[in-house]
Every structure is written in structure tokens, then in C-alpha cells.
Amino acid sequence: MQDILSVKNLKKYFVKKGFTGASKEITRVADDISFSIKNAETFVLAGESGSGKTTIARLILRALEPDSGTISFDGQDITNQKDDLKKIRLGCQMVHQDPYASINPRMTILDIVKEPLEIHNIGNKEERSRLAMVALGQVKLESDDIASKYPHMLSGGQRQRVAIARAIVTNPKLVIADEPVSMLDVSVRIGILELIKELQEKHGISFLYITHDLSTARYIGHRIAILYLGKIVETGPINEVLSSPRHPYTQALIDSISEPDPDNLHRDKKIRINEPSNADAYQGCRFRPRCPYAIEKCKQEPELEKVSEQRQVACFVKID
């Protein structure tokens, strides 16, 4: 199957200058990130808060320039196409954690969903309204009543559905959903996950599902990449990775959700990692200071290695 998105050796470092301008702190937010997403696949990027997930999304959408690396979308290298970003901005849409990030509170729901069609100059006025109503139908908000309302009149779950309708109205091939349920009331999360699943299965949309929560990831994902401090430490089919993790960090993340069953969707977990304060944190394996299995060799940096046909792990120990 062809890849819809392919990211190779993507790098982005942020440099924070000290008060005097002399001391510098470098955060390696994306450090040699490579992965690809197949057509009609839900690929999960999982990691704790601060691990670099949103930055990777912004790099893909070119809201941020990578320091190096390449990004191909739908078979075309878009890394250096500064003038022609329309292809990715039309073909790849984003759903944010906070629905208000993409919806204007002063516009009606219909106008909000129609707006991307206007931006990309698709259809005439009637056609845009028709397509917006189709998109609202796809997210199960088809009533005329809702179309004429304003965002504050809806529930949080309904607002996130509007954000999803807005993302799919242009018929994108890939949707990046950045923690789309983490700000929602636990009782409505499952409905949004079911919707994403349905959009993927019925309409063949590929998803990059970004989360800090493995229980929601397991519910909708096909393959997963586990991110730790800007590096992918483990990747492979989601069921294999979550049922027999080989990286101690994956194991730790799984342990933090005691039982990976749907009931956990109703629990909220947010762990914060200790951000590295200096360059030492990037010497050798980044997980070493927290790793119960660390050995002398872990002072060197482990690279991703194949452990089976579809799985890769960056660890010298590779737990069983």
C-alpha cells in the first residue's frame, strides 16, 4: 500500500538563550524522526507531555521549518516547496486539542465548516453550503438547527465534532488529530474516537493520532510510534507493541494505565516528564536516568533496530 505521508530524518532543535545571551539551552524537540503513514491507516504518535508531538505535527504542516530532513506527502517531496504549500494544506487537515483553536466563536457552525472551502476556492456558494451540510452529517450533527447555532451554544463534544467536520469538508487524505479528546469530558471521549474510526474505515481517511494516552490509542490505532524527548524509541503494530513492549519506556507508559481496557478511557492520566536542563540529558540513551534496566552501554546512544518484520526498538537491553 502506498504511503500518504513519509517523514525522514526530521530534525528541529529549539535554542533558548540565557539572560546574558551567552549560555544556551538546546531542546531537541524532533531528533532524527522517521516514520510513514499508509493510505487509510491510523498511525499513533504517543508520548508524554513535552516529548515533541505537537512540534512534529507543525513541522509536517509546515507551520514550522525543520532544521533538516524530508517530508513527502502523497508521493511528492514537499520539504522545499515553500511556494506551493497548498497541496499539503488542502490534503492534510488538523484537529486541535482545543476545538476553539480552529473555530471562530462569532461565526455560525455552517460558516465555520464552510470556511476551508472558501479559503481553497472550492465550489460556489450553494455547493459550499451543501458540502458543509454533508460534512456535518458525517460527524452526526446534520440538523439545520445546529448549522445556524454559534459555538458557545454547543457542548464540548459537539464543538470537537464541528472541528472535525471542518477538517474533513475539503476531502483531505490525511487528518492530524492532536490530542482530540484530552480536553473533553470523559463521557464524550468514546463517541469522538468512534467517529474517527468510522471516518477512517468508511471514507478511507488516514489519521495521525497524537496522544499521551495509550488507552485511547489502542482503541483506534493500527501502528504506533512511542516518542521520548524528541526521539522515537519504539514502533510497530499497535497490538504487538502494547501487548509485548520491548522498550522500558513503553513498558513504563503501559504500567501507568494499569489495565489497557476501554474502561480506562474514562480515566484521565497526565504525566509530566522532567525536561532535560542541559546537554548532558542528550548523552547516550535519554531514558537512562529513569530506566531500571540501564547498563553501562546505555551511555552510548541506541539507534532504532529491527526486532521483527514490522517492529523497531532503540534500546540495548530490549526487555521481553
Ligand X SMILES: Nc1ncnc2c1ncn2[C@@H]1O[C@H](COP(=O)(O)OP(=O)(O)O)[C@@H](O)[C@H]1O
Residues that bind Mg ion (CB under 5 A): 53-54
In angstroms, the CA 225 to CA 273 distance is 18
Tell whether residue 52 is a contact of ligand X (CB under 6 A).
yes
> Minimum Å distance from CB 230 to Mg ion?
13
> Minimum Å distance from CB 216 to Mg ion?
14
Tell whether residue 53 is a contact of ligand X (CB under 6 A).
yes
Nearer to ligand X, 18 or 292 (CB): 18
> Quick one: what does residue 55 bind among Mg ion, ligand X, none, with the CB cut-off 5 to 8 Å set by partner type?
ligand X
CA distances from 2 to 34, 71, 72, 75, 279 (A): 16, 15, 12, 8, 39
In angstroms, the CA 72 to CA 61 distance is 11
Tell whether residue 51 is a contact of ligand X (CB under 6 A).
yes
Which of 6, 54, 79, 264: binder of ligand X (CB under 6 A)? 54
Tell whether residue 172 is a contact of ligand X (CB under 6 A).
no
Residues 22-41 touching ligand X, rule: CB under 6 A, are 27, 29
In angstroms, the CA 17 to CA 25 distance is 6
DSSP, residue by residue, 206-263: EEEEEES-HHHHHHH-SEEEEEETTEEEEEEEHHHHHHS--SHHHHHHHHTSSS-SGG
For the window 225-264, what string marks contact with ligand X as x by the rule CB under 6 A? ----------------------------------------
> Minimum Å distance from CB 269 to ligand X?
14
Three cell numbers written together for 250: 513503553
Residue 65 DSSP code: -
Residue 99 DSSP code: G
Region class of 179: left (phi > 0), else alpha (psi between -120 and 50), else beta = left
Three cell numbers written together for 191: 463517541
In angstroms, the CA 63 to CA 117 distance is 20
Which of 5, 31, 43, 50: binder of ligand X (CB under 6 A)? 50
Nearer to ligand X, 15 or 22 (CB): 15
> Quick one: what does residue 242 bind among ligand X, Mg ion, none, with the CB cut-off 5 to 8 Å set by partner type?
none
Q: 221, 202, 198, 203: which is closest to 211 by C-alpha?
A: 221
What are the respective helix, strand and coil percentages of the chain, to the nearest 5? 35, 25, 40
> Quick one: what does residue 108 bind among ligand X, Mg ion, none, with the CB cut-off 5 to 8 Å set by partner type?
none
Residue 272 DSSP code: B
Three cell numbers written together for 168: 474533513
Cα angle for residues 182, 183, 188 (degrees, 5° grid):
80
The interface region with ligand X, picked from 49-57, 121-129, 247-255, 309-317 by CB under 6 A, is: 49-57
Residues 263-292 touching ligand X, rule: CB under 6 A, are 275
Three cell numbers written together for 1: 500500500
> Quick one: what does residue 221 bind among ligand X, Mg ion, none, with the CB cut-off 5 to 8 Å set by partner type?
none
> Minimum Å distance from CB 276 to ligand X?
9
In angstroms, the CA 251 to CA 151 distance is 40
The interface region with ligand X, picked from 47-55, 154-162, 257-265, 297-305 by CB under 6 A, is: 47-55
Nearer to ligand X, 51 or 79 (CB): 51
Which of 14, 100, 282, 293: binder of ligand X (CB under 6 A)? 14
Give residues in contact with ligand X (CB under 6 A).
14, 27, 29, 47, 49-55, 275
